[in-house]
Structure 1
Amino acid sequence: MTRNHSSDQIGTLPEGGKARRVYLHLQQEITRGIYSVGEALPGEQKLAATLEVSRVTVRRALDALEREGLIKRRAGSGTTVCGPRPQPAMAADFSTLIPQLVEMGQSTTARLLSFSYGVAPGGIASAMGLLPRDRVQMAVRLRLVEGIPFSHLTTWVPEDIAQGYSEAELATTPLFRLLERSGVKVTSANQSVSATLASPDVSEALGVSIGAPLLSIDRVVRNSEGRGVEYLSALYRPDMFKLEMSLSRVGAGEGRHWEPVIQTPKRETAE
């Protein structure tokens, strides 16, 4: 079971699959505002009947919600909603995501968790266009906002490029800045966004439960010659990071469709 680092971080999932299902169901309804702050939740017996579980299962889920600070229970007066605890958060416009993520280093702090050299994993080497025995520098960093971890970043950089900066510099300076300082001229990147579940080591670092949902961003950065100079695998807590996009309705007739609005990057919300 993952430890709960502090009262500012999300609580541990309750034991048992049914209890977790009830917990996640109620948590989502509270965070989405279906149950407003101060509103009373249905009683344990009604919740058990509605969700087709036992009262013991409901009680376990409510215990977890109470630990998280989402509800308050008082004998004789039932359970009331406290609402999600305010969290420091980061946001980025999807249409200008890369420059914003680069600038995020200005408003957050980083902690270097590991630093080593070796042969790149097969999938990473293939994506970057490396030969099977090419060596890379691998680093794992934790990025924090107001002292609370919100992203887990793993990067792979070809060894000859990575020798242009030190382990100490990587712990204090955004990688993109170090690459530019080393003379790398970045011209393009391929990026994908998906969802994943927190592994034991990542859950420990981010302060979330094992199996908690995470936003996953994978990016291959290339220089002017098309060479892969960085592979980034970034995992974000969805309760502290979100992607936004503005859309415009354009065209005419049956060809009318949505298109993203390209905006100027906001320097204060960006890696």
Structure 2
Amino acid sequence: MGTTQLESVPEPKYWHLKTVLSEALDQDFAVGEVLPNERELAARFGVARATLRQALEQLELEGRLQRRRGVGTTVAPPRVGVAVGSTANGWPVESVDGWELVGATEAEPPAAVRALLGTPEGESVHTVRRTRITGGQAVAAELLYVPAASAPGLSPLDAPSGPARARAVLRELQRLVLDGQDRSVELGSARADDAKELDRLPGAPVLVVTTRYFTSTGTAAVSIATYRADTCRLTFTDSLDLNLTSPTA
């Protein structure tokens, strides 16, 4: 076969620089060490700052670097395992796998979530927020959307907001018989509220894990969990359970 057009395209400068920088991170920098500013790095490697910025962004996406507010760009620590869905075919519960309840509100869900739930436009659902803590660090933020029909025994008197309200919503879910769940993963960008909770910049790369929980009558709840993409990688076990890894503190 002849050489394809794609094969004849030279490697972009920033990609070659990314490889050089990756080797420098292994040899010249320690975990947690702050990198020199862009001007110094560009001069050191003899490249334009725009090229350098592209290479740094790619290394951050791959989890080699972290950008921290008030600190700068630092060398990321090694990754350790954080299982996703270790309670297979189970409802979300409190204080399992590091998940901590933050609170609960009632509001109309986003259009994409509404389509998954099958709820009509204008109808509010219970929205439970949880945060996953690993090694003292927040690695994921979750919004769990629960229609009123999935929590029929929930009274307005059962705590109007906060962790107590979230606990009451989860308790109602436990009363239902779970028939199964499905899960999908995609790369996304951190929204402002999730970015703040995960100590990331808005727009930073994240892994969005969407889980639908089913009963005999259809979709009973939908979870949208946002994981830090700079510190998480996907692995698959022999049983095809999905796992994520993230750094220790």
| Range of TM-score over shorter length | 0.5 to 0.7
Partner of 1:234: 225
Q: Please give the root-mean-square deviation of Cα atoms over the aligned residues, in Å.
A: 4.6
2:239 to 253, 258, 262: 262
CA–CA separation in structure 2 for the residues paired with 1:101 and 1:85: 32
Residues matched between the structures, number: 205
Matched, 1:45 2:40: no
Query: How many Å apart are 1:157 and its aligned residue?
Result: 0.4
TM-score by length of 1: 0.57
CA–CA separation in structure 2 for the residues paired with 1:93 and 1:28: 33
Partner of 1:190: 182
Gaps of 5+ in 1: 1-20, 71-83, 247-260
TM-score by length of 2: 0.61
Gaps of 5+ in 2: 1-12, 58-64
> Equivalences for 1:84-233 in 2 at 5 Å?
84-85=76-77, 89-92=80-83, 98=88, 105-112=95-102, 114-162=103-151, 164=153, 166=158, 167-169=162-164, 175=170, 178-181=171-174, 183-225=175-217, 227-233=218-224
Contact preservation (8 Å) 1:91, 1:244: no
CA–CA separation in structure 2 for the residues paired with 1:200 and 1:212: 10
Query: How many Å apart are 1:36 and its aligned residue?
Result: 1.6
Query: How many Å apart are 1:158 and its aligned residue?
Result: 1.1
Q: Deviations over 1:212-243 (max 9, x none)?
A: 10001112211022x22111111001244332
CA–CA separation in structure 1 for the residues paired with 2:106 and 2:113: 14
Partner of 1:76: none
CA–CA separation in structure 1 for the residues paired with 2:150 and 2:91: 21
Q: Which secondary structure state, in structure 2, belongs to the residue aligned with residue 127 of structure 1?
A: helix
CA–CA separation in structure 1 for the residues paired with 2:41 and 2:73: 19
User: Could you tell me which amino acid in structure 2 is paired with residue 118 of structure 1?
Assistant: A
1:118–1:238 Cα change, 3 Å = closer
Larger helix percent: 1
Q: Which secondary structure state, in structure 1, belongs to the residue aligned with residue 150 of structure 2?
A: helix
CA–CA separation in structure 2 for the residues paired with 1:147 and 1:195: 24
